[in-house]
Amino acid sequence: MRFRDAPVTPLGIRRRSTALTGIQMVFQDPATSLNPRRRVGDQVADGIATARARGAAGSTVEEWLERVGLPAEVRTRFPHQFSGGQKQRIAIARALAARPSLLVADEPISALDASTQTSVAGLMRDLVAESGAGMLFISHDLAVVRRIADRTFVMFGGRVLESGPTDRLWAAPQHPYTQALLAAIPEPDGAGRIPAAPSVDDRAVWAEIPPVAY
């Protein structure tokens, strides 16, 4: 894997180079990605310090908390004093405070309740666009993917089966696996019917994927 034409080295025991802090991550479960023994303001400050180490413009903890919809005074609280959606907002603030050029979001809303998922997904999209960063959004929720992604990559067995602009891929999927995924999305028809399970031969899909040497 390469980032800005340089290899992404294994993490190991030592810290990665400062250049690689241009990649930041928002994890699936903020309850485990935030340090329970540190105040949330100190954790957001870590991101700010990372940005300064790369020579990025300065910012404050209060600014980032307010940008994710939280009052500045919560900076002295600990993670257990927040709801799941609020914790994820703090994790987003911490990651974006580092001024990344790439944000990797690994199922960032799947652990949230349905009423919070839409607002957090929209927040991530807007803040990333505002900061000028790119975002790799990993999700099984196709409705969210359609709303948030400019380009979509459909994967199976660790390989990309189909990719392209999101609108085109939804309008004219080419691969049988993509077609089956999209056919399984429920569409409200007022009759309360659930779509039939897609018929996908996993063996046939695997047969189309060349072997990988590990």
pLDDT band of 25, cuts 50, 70, 90 = very high
Answer yes or no: is pLDDT of 115 > 80.
no
Q: Which CATH class, in words, describes the domain spanning 2-149?
A: alpha beta
Q: CATH 3.40.50.300 in the chain: give the residue spans.
A: 2-149
Q: What is the pLDDT of residues 46-100, one digit of tens each?
A: 999 999 988 887 789 999 999 999 999 999 999 999 999 999 999 999 999 999 9
pLDDT band of 24, cuts 50, 70, 90 = very high
Mean pLDDT of 163-184: 92
Nearest Cα neighbor of 50 from 98, 104, 100 is: 98
Q: Is 151 buried (19+), middle (13-18) or exposed (0-12) by CB count in 10 A?
A: exposed
